[in-house]
Amino acid sequence: MYRYVYWFKMLNPPRGYLPVVLITGCASGIGLAIARLFYRNPRFRVCITARVHHVEQLRRVFPENERFIVLPMDVTNDLDRKNVIDTLKEKWNKVDILVNNAGISYRSVVEHMTAQDEELQMATNYFGPMELIRLVLPMMREVGRGKIINISSVSGMLAMPTMASYSASKYALEGASEALWYELRPFGIDVSMIQPGFINSNSFKKVRYTEAARASEAGQEVYSQYYQSMGPFVARLMDFSWTTPSKIADLVMDVVRTQKPPLWIPATFDAELFYYLRRFVPRRLLHPFLYACLPNVKEWGKNYSRRRPDPPRWKYWLLKLIRAFPFDGR
Ligand SMILES: NC(=O)c1ccc[n+]([C@@H]2O[C@H](COP(=O)([O-])OP(=O)(O)OC[C@H]3O[C@@H](n4cnc5c(N)ncnc54)[C@H](OP(=O)(O)O)[C@@H]3O)[C@@H](O)[C@H]2O)c1
């Protein structure tokens, strides 16, 4: 939908001006697809980054030239971030467009996360991108334009069981991006969040498990059913999705070439659906509905729960009715 609504806003950059684009997490998936697209496009100067162990391989796939370079960067590492920005300042004296794509996701219920796991999740998906934004902003303000494109997720608008920390990291990114949109408008800098839902890619194979989550998935304990149901469910949805990483890359290119792109950009069918559900369906209806849609949910924690049975619904409604008409005896 985004593409059709905003096509007329596409900008042709002035001749001879090649904006500088910095992209994180380009070793695989969406980042690799974005790198491919920009490698073919002579209208940009591009720096793709990945963790150091991928750099040689990426340089073989994308031989460097005067407008395309590959640099090592772990987004959680202060020194790496600073080195990349210093190199770009020295080489091209600016960064016009930052694409925060690198990300990881844990599959683990809240009880199975450790403080270190939480830190790594947040450092990769939230603290790292925010630090990078802080580093590029002075350069963007200096030239009076710029774009920050954060790859968020449908998990940044609706949370899913076993993905609490991932959701928290994307909610944090979304909240900060929304505030940034207001803060940067006076300087001519655009902020957009691309929100993919399920994508037909191998990235679900890279989902991380904590030690406790891994043991629980393999065994029979309180949360085993959660993992045994959610893992294959998500894998199936990704297999069925017709959105590929290259479609998301096309969308990134559209945002780059659009004047005043929107802040929120749902990028898959399910993301668009959840976007409207979230807006128009009251949460007290939406959450029970989504709960009922979870795979095998009646079995979750069944033999381990001490939950008391819910009172009959008619008692609940009767009580509500009585409270709505308080009879005070007069
Ligand atoms: N695939 C989906 O269905 C989906 C849905 C919604 C949102 N997203 C978001 O889209 C973005 C890209 O995901 P993807 O699907 O392309 O997953 P992916 O194939 O796992 O790619 C993530 C990339 O980020 C890199 N990365 C991870 N930690 C890093 C770090 N500390 N420093 C630098 N790079 C790091 C990974 O490199 P290594 O190989 O070195 O780990 C990998 O190249 C993520 O932000 C993700 O949250 C994906």
CATH of the domain at 251: 3.40.50.720
CA-to-CA separations, 270 to 26, 191, 237, 248, 327, in angstroms, rounded: 24, 23, 10, 14, 48
Rounded to whole angstroms, the Cα distance separating 25 from 77 reads 13
**Minimum CA distance residue for ligand 1 atom 43:** 27
Q: Report how far ligand 1's centroid is from the alpha carbon of 150 (Å).
A: 12
Q: Report how far ligand 1's centroid is from the alpha carbon of 308 (Å).
A: 42
> Would you say residue 225 lies in a domain?
no
CA-to-CA separations, 215 to 160, 218, 228, in angstroms, rounded: 20, 5, 12
Does the CB atom of residue 75 touch ligand 1 within 6 A?
Answer: yes
* Closest CA relative to residue 166, chosen from 203, 135, 192: 203
Q: Report how far ligand 1's centroid is from the alpha carbon of 39 (Å).
A: 19
Q: Report how far ligand 1's centroid is from the alpha carbon of 129 (Å).
A: 13
Bridge partners for 179 per DSSP = none
Does the CB atom of residue 146 touch ligand 1 within 6 A?
Answer: no
Bridge partners for 23 per DSSP = 48, 99
Tell the residue number behind the tokens 């007069």, with chain if given: 330
Does the CB atom of residue 206 touch ligand 1 within 6 A?
Answer: yes
- Look up the domain containing 42 and give its range: 2-210+243-284
Q: Which of 6, 106, 166, 223 is catalytic?
A: 166
**Minimum CA distance residue for ligand 1 atom 2:** 199
Does the CB atom of residue 156 touch ligand 1 within 6 A?
Answer: no
Does the CB atom of residue 103 touch ligand 1 within 6 A?
Answer: yes
**Minimum CA distance residue for ligand 1 atom 45:** 103
* Closest CA relative to residue 72, chosen from 90, 88, 91, 53: 53
User: Catalytic annotation on 106?
Assistant: no
> Would you say residue 99 lies in a domain?
yes
> Would you say residue 306 lies in a domain?
no
DSSP per residue, 294-309: STTGGGTTGGG--PPP
Rounded to whole angstroms, the Cα distance separating 105 from 231 reads 13
Residue 49 near residue 23 (C-beta atoms within 8 A): yes
What is the residue-level pLDDT of the chain in tens, covering all 330 positions?
A: 555 554 444 445 556 789 999 999 999 999 999 999 999 999 999 999 999 999 999 999 999 999 999 999 999 999 999 999 999 999 999 999 999 999 999 999 999 999 999 999 999 999 999 999 999 999 999 999 999 999 999 999 999 999 999 999 999 999 999 999 999 999 999 999 999 999 998 877 899 999 999 999 999 999 999 999 999 999 999 999 999 999 999 999 999 999 999 999 999 999 999 999 989 999 889 999 999 999 999 999 999 999 888 878 888 888 888 888 766 655
Does the CB atom of residue 30 touch ligand 1 within 6 A?
Answer: yes
Does the CB atom of residue 165 touch ligand 1 within 6 A?
Answer: no
**Minimum CA distance residue for ligand 1 atom 32:** 74
DSSP per residue, 7-59: GGGB--PPTT---EEEE---SSHHHHHHHHHHHH-TT-EEEEEE-HHHHHHHH
> Would you say residue 321 lies in a domain?
no
Q: Report how far ligand 1's centroid is from the alpha carbon of 18 (Å).
A: 27
At residue 282, the pLDDT reads: 93
Which amino acid, 88?
Answer: L
Tell me the H-state helices in 241-325. 245-257, 269-280, 283-293, 313-324
Q: Report which DSSP code applies to 238.
A: H
The b/e string for 70-93 (b: 16+ C-beta within 10 A; e otherwise) is bbbbbbbbeebbeebbeebeeebe
Rounded to whole angstroms, the Cα distance separating 300 from 32 reads 37
> Would you say residue 92 lies in a domain?
yes
CA 186 to chain centre: 26
At residue 265, the pLDDT reads: 96
User: Phi and psi of 69, rounded to 5°?
Assistant: -130, 155
Q: Report which DSSP code applies to 136.
A: H
> Would you say residue 323 lies in a domain?
no
> What's the domain count of the chain?
1
Does the CB atom of residue 203 touch ligand 1 within 6 A?
Answer: yes
Query: Is this prediction's pTM over 0.85?
Result: yes
> Would you say residue 224 lies in a domain?
no
**Minimum CA distance residue for ligand 1 atom 14:** 29
Ligand 1, from 53, 80, 101, 205: best to mutate by most atoms within 8 Å of Cβ?
101
Does the CB atom of residue 27 touch ligand 1 within 6 A?
Answer: yes
> Would you say residue 147 lies in a domain?
yes
CA atoms within 13 A on the CB side of 254: 21
Q: Report how far ligand 1's centroid is from the alpha carbon of 126 (Å).
A: 13
